[in-house]
Chains A and B, each alone.
Chain A
Amino acid sequence: MNIVIVDYGTGNIKSIQFAFKRLGVEAILSSNPEIIKAADKVIFPGVGEASSAMKMLKKSGLDKLIPTLEQPVLGICLGMQLMCNYTEEGNTKGLGIFKANVKRFSNAVKVPQMGWNTIKNLKSDLFKGIHESDYMYLVHSYYAENCDEAIATSDYEMQYASALAKDNFYGVQFHPEKSSIVGEQLLKNFLKL
């Protein structure tokens, strides 16, 4: 299977590559549109700040390419947030794949949310073999609002969408590559989609 991790100069993408390697799958890093288009599965990662990440996507033309992909695409963390309509971080327009808007947690809670939280209201094959209230590892200051595209929710300040799906596009706020065996199960499930 041909797995491509979109490499647009952001974040710790080696961890995702290593996570697939632990599952016995070699994933390649690429920013080349032809290679990404030809992949069986695409991972769209992201760590850092939204507006600068979006600038880097635009620089390489990937902002146009990603919404047109037809194979399963999994956005992780900031990747998921960039797939949304809009994010308050740096007042950034997203790729518009998901209609959710991304907002900042208020100071009523500690920001960033850092650590393990439960995922609930699981709705997709992405969560096969994963149970309601299993734990995933999260680090984020911004969250996607709960909406009808949510396939998992978590509670922090309020109930928010910790995973989204629309057609062939999936997005997860948590880091499956860092979420122990539950995260590994999710990555396995993604490979089977």
Chain B
Amino acid sequence: MLTKRIVPCLDIKNGRTVKGVNFVDLRDAGDPVVLAKQYAELGADELVFLDISATLEGRKTMHDMVLKVAEQVNIPFTVGGGISSVEDVDDLLHCGADKVSINSSAIKRPELVNELSNKFGSQCVVVAIDAKQIDNKWIVHLAGGTIPTELNLFDWAKEVEQRGAGEILFTSMNNDGTKAGFANDALVKLANTVNIPIIASGGAGTVQHFVDTFKIGKADAALAASVFHFGEIEILELKKELRKQNIEVRL
């Protein structure tokens, strides 16, 4: 059976991880390549690198990092952040990224999703959606969740699926950083709206939160950052518990 996936996410600025990572005694915990290798060995199913560099120089560094990760890591990885054209994606895939994640650029120009899936195939096009529940409506936000749009989460998800997205990475801004659990109500509604895989993001704090997002939220994968980076949850232990609760995982 196809397993549920556990996905650590690393924020990268100028080629270095941003948040401190101290889950294991590493010589250089700021080096994303070292970390990625470590996560692969510890049982992560795939990785997401989010580039938050604001400068052109920072972006170039990202290419070098992607190349090094591809060289050294034997599990799939997605690269997101600041991707806005077919050329950007071509460059990243050439460096060895397996998938790319687009967010604001897809909202600004939805045809980009069609262009990418036609040229590279749906399998490598992840559309990331940041949404916030306001007055019972899930409103899509852009630019790292700072600017509200007119879009509704479910309509937008349906649209990007039709345009050729291969996967949706949904971050609930209400849950992100709370460590109070994933937005399972919205996730299950999303799962009933589209027929492509969904990665749940935002709110992971305990092992039970992962159980719930797979069982109640019907998520295909769960992404988290700090609980993994700070060793609060060990991936292997997490997966053992998931299996105990009859959730299919790779062990």
Contacts and interface: CB of A to CB of B under 8 A. Distances in A.
Interface of A: 12, 14-15, 18-19, 21-22, 47-49, 107, 110-118, 135, 137, 139-141, 155-156, 175, 177-181, 183-184
B166 A135 contact: no
B250 interface: yes
Interface in B1-45: 1-5, 40, 45
B197 A115 contact: yes
B74 A177 contact: yes
B175 interface: no
Contacts of A22: 71-72, 74
B72 A115 contact: no
Nearest to A107: B195
Contacts, number: 90
Interface in B137-174: 166-167
Interface residues of B, number: 32
Contacts of B71: 18, 21-22
A181 B123 contact: no
Contact of B96 (A18, A47, A181): A18
22 contacts: A12-B96, A12-B97, A12-B98, A12-B124, A15-B70, A18-B70, A22-B71, A47-B120, A47-B124, A48-B121, A49-B121, A107-B195, A111-B195, A114-B220, A116-B3, A116-B250, A117-B1, A135-B3, A141-B122, A178-B76, A180-B75, A184-B74
